[in-house]
Structure 1
Amino acid sequence: MSDVLRFSDVKLSFAGVKAIDGVDFTVGADELFAVIGPNGAGKTSIFNVISGVYRPQQGRVLLDDVDITGLRPDKVARLGVARTFQNVELFRQLTVVENLMLGRHHHMRYGTLAAIAWLGRARREELQNRARVEEIVDFLELAQWRRMPVGLLPYGVQKRVELGRALAMEPRLLLLDEPVAGMNLEETEDMARYILDIREELGIPMILVEHDMGLVMDLADRVLVVDFGVPVACGTPGEVQQNPDVIRAYLGETGVAEGMTA
């Protein structure tokens, strides 16, 4: 299994406080990789280093053997990294389709004059990108809401639209930051199904950060556990659940492994 991402011995500090301390992992080209840990463990900092928001003091991040360490977020996105956020980051006044079209921005090559004239290349590219967006609408079962402003939609549907916008970028790697946060059981089950469909039907490797341990253990191929920026364990869900260091990090000295499945 070839690696799409190498996150190598990364260290990141803020005013002497270590957010990431020697984290090292790889993500395979067909893998759903999860990063878990208590609040403040460094999970979001890992995502921010990958996506170019933070530049680490040490280590490298390679995407398909291209060094993306410290590149601007827009350049990282153009190279194929897409991301969803814990808090929904959509344009509430725009429709579902319009929000999804924003994910196609870096696929559009025509200039301002061509757009104003709405001729030739601009028209062709717009139609091609709208066709791609309609495929995502069907894939995520958003058709009934496609013309509605996203601010009027249920929270679970908004999270699905944000996922769709990331897919519209046609990413090489998809970063999912707590995709089921705030969802009820039915919405969580729906999102889990879409995540599996993305891997099996679209073949997009993913890194998942999530507090729902049941979801993580059901979906992930491998799990990295971090605590205070330090890697604690990395392995299959079964291996991680039984690791005594992981149990201590989550539950304290008296914790039991079964708590990881809650």
Structure 2
Amino acid sequence: MSAPVARLDDVHLSFAGVKAVNGVSFEVNPGELFAIIGPNGAGKTSLFNVLSGVYRPQQGSVRFLGEDILGRRPFRIAAMGMARTFQNIALFEHLTVLDNLMLGRHQHIGYGAAAAFLWRGKARNQELEHRRFVEEIVDFLELEAWRSLPVGLLPYGVQKRVELGRALAMEPKLLLLDEPVAGMNLEETEDTARYILDIRDELDVPIIMVEHDMGLVMDLADRIMVVDFGTPITTGTPAEVQQHPDVIRAYLGEEIGS
């Protein structure tokens, strides 16, 4: 069996004595869509911040692609191939869709400011190659109609798609999706679900997803971890989690589909 893409072991994170993450352990395997669910304040985003290097836990280990990344700065972890989207859209609203996507190529740029200014040789060739790559993402996410428009003029659901595209522009080896369908209507949610599955299945990118839409999670995830006040309750397949009495009582209220 292939080694896990990412692994957390007995991670503890506190702020002023308040436990945000309390003994969390999990691993994500190649080609897997792993979901983390729980109520607001359960520690889900804190786990993303631990993984991406924003927070350093007081205890535990964090590994990515077989390497210990505890204490590494976020841009170093991103350069290794970990990409992330955010709950709140973090795009440059006055830049076009293409320009926002190009920002995701920054870690692949191999030339300096002087070469970029002259736009010759290596800089020109790389720039054209990056634009070709970004155009493939435009096609993949069906953004052709908006490619040259400022992002701030686009509907909310399309902006969320652009942010997803910017993460894909990094050529991630692991993609962290923080509430990818939050605020979307039904049609936008269904479209996003299809893109997420395509990313996993066609691009072969493993995904960790935090999401409150339980129907979406149960439909898409290979495995799910449930957390409450930073403490893991259970981890398993959607069917296993769905039947867990504490999950039914505390989070779902009733079995999905009942």
Aligned partner of 1:30 in structure 2 is: 31
Aligned partner of 1:82 in structure 2 is: 83
Letter in 2 for 1:257: E
Give the 5 Å matches for 1:53-202.
53-202=54-203
Hey, what's the Cα distance between the residues in 2 that align with 1:225 and 1:38? 9
Aligned partner of 1:256 in structure 2 is: 254
Hey, what's the Cα distance between the residues in 2 that align with 1:113 and 1:250? 55
SS in 1 for 2:191: helix
- Offset at 1:18? 0.2
Hey, what's the Cα distance between the residues in 1 that align with 2:189 and 2:118? 44
Hey, what's the Cα distance between the residues in 2 that align with 1:177 and 1:146? 24
- Offset at 1:60? 1.0
Hey, what's the Cα distance between the residues in 2 that align with 1:90 and 1:250? 32
Q: TM-score, normalised by structure 2?
A: 0.98
- Is 2:227 the counterpart of 1:226? yes
Query: Does the 8 Å CA contact 1:93/1:149 hold for their aligned counterparts?
Result: yes
- Offset at 1:206? 0.1
- Offset at 1:8? 1.0
Hey, what's the Cα distance between the residues in 1 that align with 2:63 and 2:129? 31
Misfit runs of 4+, over 3 Å: none
Aligned partner of 1:40 in structure 2 is: 41
- Offset at 1:112? 1.0
Letter in 1 for 2:159: Q
| Number of equivalent positions | 257
Query: Does the 8 Å CA contact 1:196/1:219 hold for their aligned counterparts?
Result: yes
SS in 2 for 1:224: strand
Deviations along 1:188-226, one digit per CA (max 9) or x if unpaired, are 000000000001110000000000000000000000000
Deviations along 1:34-63, one digit per CA (max 9) or x if unpaired, are 000011000000000001110000111111
- Offset at 1:64? 1.2
Letter in 1 for 2:44: K
Q: Any stretches of 5+ residues in structure 1 without a counterpart?
A: none
Identity rate, percent: 71
Q: Any stretches of 5+ residues in structure 2 without a counterpart?
A: none
Deviations along 1:76-104, one digit per CA (max 9) or x if unpaired, are 10011000011110000000000000000
What is the CA RMSD across the aligned residues, in angstroms?
Answer: 1.1
Hey, what's the Cα distance between the residues in 1 that align with 2:72 and 2:250? 33
Query: Does the 8 Å CA contact 1:177/1:209 hold for their aligned counterparts?
Result: yes
- Offset at 1:71? 1.1
Hey, what's the Cα distance between the residues in 2 that align with 1:120 and 1:59? 47
Q: TM-score, normalised by structure 1?
A: 0.96
Letter in 2 for 1:227: D
Deviations along 1:101-131, one digit per CA (max 9) or x if unpaired, are 0000000010111111111111011011011
Query: Does the 8 Å CA contact 1:49/1:70 hold for their aligned counterparts?
Result: no
SS in 2 for 1:110: coil
SS in 1 for 2:202: helix
Aligned partner of 1:235 in structure 2 is: 236
Deviations along 1:167-193, one digit per CA (max 9) or x if unpaired, are 000001000000000000000000000
Letter in 2 for 1:69: L
Hey, what's the Cα distance between the residues in 2 that align with 1:70 and 1:133? 31
